[in-house]
Chains A and B, each alone.
Chain A
Amino acid sequence: MRRIAQHTCTDMARIDLDLAHSYKPLPARDADYALLPLAMTFDDGGAYALLGPSGCGKTTMLNIISGLVAPSQGTVRFDGEDVTSRTPQQRNIAQVFQFPVIYDTMTVAENLAFPLRNRRMPAERIGQRVGVVAEMLELTAQLPQRAAGLSADVKQKISLGRGLVRNDVSAVLFDEPLTVIDPHLKWQLRRKLKQIHRELKLTLIYVTHDQVEALTFADQVIVMTHGRAVQTGSADQLFERPQHTFVGHFIGSPGMNFLDAEIQGDRLRIDGVDLQMTADSIAALSQAGRVTLGVRPEYVTVSDSARPGAMSAQVVKAQDIGTHWMVTGKIGERVVRARVSSGAAVPGAGDTVWLGLLGPHTCFYKDDRLLA
């Protein structure tokens, strides 16, 4: 099957965006833009997610790629060719939306075949292709059934199938496609989508505000906030080395801890206390002046005595989260959270502890951008 897929995927395209978009006629300030000027490439056959809170610009970007929205400036290119003024049909884009878009009066098989019939594919090829997609989505048993009586889950699977059935598309775009799926079934559909991507090698672009969805599905996640794409990276890059404070905050529950700090020679001053930095950090940061230290709760260590790289903190609370403990401490007025494994000793509220902030996973930011 993989051979077939690769063989027939000649229409897949690399997508280059070099554009900006504003819904206002004369944008003046950053806030007037739904998408600030950006240049971005989606490689042929990649799995991408656009992740961010509502209003971040991710749906605008998806609509510009599909051709539903024309960017107010700049271009969209498919394999180098300018397609900015073309419609979704002309761009050869398949789309899957939040809610099922299917024909209730047709059978499941007819629904899946519909996009192929429209392209006048020979009946034999249609049957073969519908069979492959139905098999992957575990819809084979339902192929002869009418769509009308099926549950929302199954209907959305049919929608996914309709989006994936053509292998001559430039890309398949998904807009929060698992919203209607029961939470307990979501992981199975996430798995299906990953398998399908691996087998069909389609370019898939997936919009979501849910970090689990984005990080699980995509090889590359584009994190967006206020019309800006602040980082494109794999799940572990976003977790380990957030390039922007927003990524540190948005990825992870709870997100990264941030503390104001000042570099003074080989020392880091936080809330009036000096910490000795490592040689690597000194080299990278010596001229940085005022910075923001970022460290994830997973990497903050808790101990009951002073240690290098640790600051004393008052424990505000210690929560038993079942799988682990979350210790919330205060360094001056700043809240710092530490994730402590269930096996370790856990301090109580009011205790003084030392929170280890400096280590290989500690990041430093200036104007929200990663320095080192």
Chain B
Amino acid sequence: MALELADIVLRVGAATYLYSMSLRLEPGALTVVLGATQSGKTSLLRIMAGLDAPTSGRVLMDGADVTRVPVRRRDVAMVYQQFINYPSMTVFGNIASPLALRGAPNIDSRVAELARKLHIDAYLDRLPAELSGGQQQRVALARALAKSAPLTLLDEPLVNLDYKLREELREELAQLFAASDSTVVYATTEPTEALLLGGFTAVLDAGELLQYGRTADVYHHPKSIRVARAFNDPPMNLVEARAVAGGIVFRDGLRLPLRVPAAAESGLTVGVRASALRVSPRPGDITIEGDVQLAEISGSDTFVHAATAIAPLVAQLTGVHRFDLGARVNLHFQPTESYLFGSNGELLLAPDRAAHLH
């Protein structure tokens, strides 16, 4: 199903929740709506679903204007943060409900198949209250999938689960979405989740749609500082700089040999991803000295927060590394791995990706 938003705006009282935006979702694909809390994700999903109408602008489904068509007359499945199920129905009844409603054939086998895919086939006779949070959300997901709606909307469906459950369920969902024809919209605050889900990503910030494209393209080519900040965890390291002959200079005089577009002069910002900073040097590196503020360990990675002369920086190192608070650390990176943003915040230069592949 092709969903298109044309110049939609959402105002509530004096406040603008969504600034004018247009978006044509890739039919049959997964689109991640990525943004921080309060960025407008839920407002946007509610308009897509037909739960709310935009203040102005149009919503088109397969070319037909559905802006004022309420949700019950649209064919949409939705999953929320909270685990919402019919409390008095069994798990079977919950999953079967959308099928029963439209008088679908082979309900038993369809429910059994979905329950098996979501690993809740052992609980079909139980009530939702007798299940763990993770299992309850699996029931809600199974019901949404049972609907086989051409449009499936998920609003941070995994946020209330432990991270291991989240990891597992995200993987399973990605597989189920890939196998279905439904156009799927998945809202999340987590950049890593967007990257793991793949597909397409729309970046929202403070009610504005900043960028839409293939997830990996948006990540590697953020149009602006705002996108780079929103689509990176930890946020991209940003350092003020100005252009001089043959490159870029930081506040403390450190020089980067970069091809700077002619238009750029002062008020520039250099962006370096946490993963581009290393503690082991390579030839051609720029080196920045710092004091360790904290080493955060995620299990697979260590995030070293360091105070330096140019800015506070975060380096992402693979595996577990120990640093004492206050320890000296040298952070190294290749100048070619830096991003450059102009004084208006727009991208001037991104690392060459082709060089990294094959």
Contacts and interface: CB of A to CB of B under 8 A. Distances in A.
Interface of A: 53-55, 183, 187, 190-191, 194-195, 198, 209-212, 215-216, 234-236, 238-240, 249-255, 296-298, 319-324, 326, 339, 341-343, 345-346
B318 interface: yes
A298 B325 contact: no
Nearest to B324: A198
Nearest to B133: A54
B356 A343 contact: yes
Contact of A321 (B192, B299, B305, B322): B192
B325 A323 contact: no
Interface stretch (B98-106, B159-167, B244-252): B159-167
Interface stretch (B65-73, B84-92, B107-115, B290-298): B290-298
B162 A253 contact: no
A339 to B, nearest CB: 7
Given A183-B189, A216-B295, 18 more contacts: A53-B162, A190-B294, A194-B325, A209-B162, A211-B163, A212-B299, A236-B321, A239-B299, A252-B299, A298-B318, A298-B319, A320-B219, A321-B192, A322-B275, A324-B275, A339-B318, A343-B356, A345-B358
Nearest to A237: B320
A253 B299 contact: yes
Given A298-B319, A319-B196, A320-B195, A53 B164 contact: yes
B273 A298 contact: no
B198 interface: yes
B316 A323 contact: yes
B300 interface: yes
B145 to A, nearest CB: 21
B49 to A, nearest CB: 27
User: Would you call the interface of chain B mostly helix, strand, loop, or mixed?
Assistant: mixed
Contacts of B262: none
Nearest to A346: B357
Contacts of B275: 322-324, 342
B216 A320 contact: yes
Interface in B247-300: 273-275, 293-300
A184 to B, nearest CB: 8
A321 B198 CA distance: 9
Contacts of A297: 300
Contacts of B294: 187, 190-191, 194, 216
Contacts of B297: 212, 215-216, 235
A55 B132 CA distance: 10
A255 B162 CA distance: 14
Contacts of B316: 323
Contact of B167 (A54, A253, A346): A253
Contacts of B165: 53
17 contacts: A53-B164, A54-B162, A187-B296, A190-B294, A194-B325, A209-B163, A215-B298, A216-B296, A216-B297, A250-B164, A252-B300, A297-B300, A322-B191, A322-B216, A322-B219, A323-B275, A339-B300
Residue with the highest number of chain A CB atoms closer than 10 Å, among B165, B319, B325 = B319
A54 B131 CA distance: 13
Contact of B198 (A296, A319, A341): A319
Interface in B331-358: 356-358
Contact of A215 (B133, B299, B325): B299
Nearest to B232: A322
Contact of B299 (A211, A326, A343): A211
The list of the 10 closest CB pairs from A to B, nearest first, reads: A323-B275, A215-B297, A191-B294, A252-B299, A236-B320, A239-B320, A320-B216, A251-B299, A216-B296, A252-B300
B195 A322 contact: yes
A178 to B, nearest CB: 12
Contacts of B192: 321-322
A183 B233 CA distance: 11
Contacts of B319: 239, 298
Nearest to A182: B37
Contacts of A190: 294, 296
Contacts of A324: 275, 318
A162 B164 CA distance: 32
A212 B296 contact: yes
A253 B320 contact: no
Contacts of B321: 236
Contacts of B303: 187
A215 B320 contact: yes
Contacts of B293: 191
Contact of A211 (B219, B273, B274, B298): B298
A252 B318 CA distance: 11
Nearest to A344: B356
A174 to B, nearest CB: 17
Contacts of A323: 273-275, 316
Nearest to B214: A320
B195 A319 contact: yes
Contacts of A343: 356
Interface string B190-208: 0110011010000000000
A147 B162 CA distance: 32
Nearest to B198: A319
